[in-house]
Amino acid sequence: MIDWPLAELLPHAGDMILIDHVLDFDEEQIHTRLEVRPGGLFNRPDGSLPAWVGIELMAQSVAAYAGCRARQQGQAVELGFLLGTRKFQCNVEHFPVGSILQIHALRSLEDDNGMGVFECHLDGPGITASARLNVFRPPQVSDYLQETPAPSTGTPS
């Protein structure tokens, strides 16, 4: 298991960090896990997590992969964006309380412009889910977060 605190690997804060641990990672992949606990931001009244949260769990695993690589290289952890997913499939409607979920994300494409594609799998007791995530980590993330001034209409106020 990786000992780095998740808050140092993910550009998320507090309750928005959904995964519990990074089990291991290398240049191509990461393995993470979590235990489904009631009372989180996305839990249903019975404490379970809706299956669609699996996409966010996969995305956070990809973000943790980027954070581990940055930390390993002595760089700052930077913000990235989930652009979309393809072929999300899950055999259940929710993840029950107490379920231990393991997520595996494998990098299948990454270019110098920050675009990436990851093949992701989530497994638990009687649970299987998979998806292909398209992600983007721009070289100068601050440029993407600045507001553009509204264009002038040419009419006096």
Question: How is residue 109 written in tokens?
Answer: 């494409």
> How far is Cα 126 from Cα 89, in angstroms, rounded to an integer?
14
- Tell me the three-class secondary structure of the chain, residue by residue: CCCCCHHHHCCCCHHHCCCCEEEEECCCEEEEEEECCCCCCCCCCCCCEECCHHHHHHHHHHHHHHHHHHHHCCCCCCCCEEEEEEEEEECCCEECCCCEEEEEEEEEEECCCCEEEEEEEEEECCEEEEEEEEEECCCCHHHHHCCCCCCCCCCCC
Give yes or no for a contact between 8 and 76, defined as CB atoms under 8 angstroms apart. Answer: no
Give the pLDDT mean for 68-80. Answer: 89
Digit-coded pLDDT (tens) for 8-65? 888 777 788 999 999 999 999 999 999 999 999 999 999 999 999 999 999 999 999 9
Digit-coded pLDDT (tens) for 114-140? 899 999 999 999 999 999 999 998 876
Give yes or no for a contact between 100 and 33, defined as CB atoms under 8 angstroms apart. Answer: yes
Phi, psi of 94 (to 5 degrees): -155, 160
Which residues, in sequence order, are CB contacts of 118 under 8 Å at separation 6+?
A: 58, 62, 65, 105, 106, 107, 108, 132, 133, 135
Give the pLDDT mean for 71-86. Answer: 89
For the 6-142 domain, the top CATH level (class) is: alpha beta
Reported residue count of the chain is 157
The larger pLDDT score, comparing residue 107 to residue 141, is at 107
Per-residue pLDDT at 111 exceeds 90? no
